[in-house]
Amino acid sequence: MTDTVTIYHNPRCSKSRETLELLRQRGIEPQVVEYLKTPPSAGELAGLVAKLGIPPARLLRSKEAAEAGVDKTLPDSDLIAAMAANPSVIERPIVVKGDQARLGRPPEQVLEIL
């Protein structure tokens, strides 16, 4: 059995759309999570950060975080809570397969885990 591929997607984002198209071109129909409509919980975000292998601050969109008043220097647990409360500050897209995840910036980066 192959692991399900999930994309945390924002259809208004060009990189997110490009990443989704890249997956489909390779015959992969991922589970699509429109994270602005269905925000991940703090626990899910902590899991994503672990799978990405990055500190939570690297998952923040700078402009949106500044607009939302989210300070990148907050402790990790506070950053994750802030992202759960303000999903627009989460960098996108995130593609997950099994115990690995990659940001689709650039979109081709997600191919590393497929």
Look at the domain 1-35+92-114 and name its fold: Glutaredoxin (3.40.30)
Sole residue written with tokens 């703090």? 42
Backbone angles phi, psi at 74, to 5 degrees: -65, 155
Cβ partners under 8 Å of residue 34, min gap 6 = 9, 10, 11
| Diameter over CA atoms, the chain | 43
pTM over 0.85: yes
Question: Sheet of 31-34: strands edge to edge?
Answer: 31-34, 5-9, 94-97, 100-103
**Residue 3: which of 90, 101, 94, 92 has the closest Cα?**
101
Tens digit of each residue's pLDDT, the chain (114 residues): 458 999 999 999 999 999 999 999 999 999 999 999 999 999 999 999 999 999 999 999 999 999 999 999 999 999 999 999 999 999 999 999 999 999 999 999 999 999
Residue closest to 20 by CA, chosen among 28, 40, 12: 28
Active site residues: 13
* Spatial separation of the C-alpha atoms in residues 41 and 67, rounded to whole Å: 21
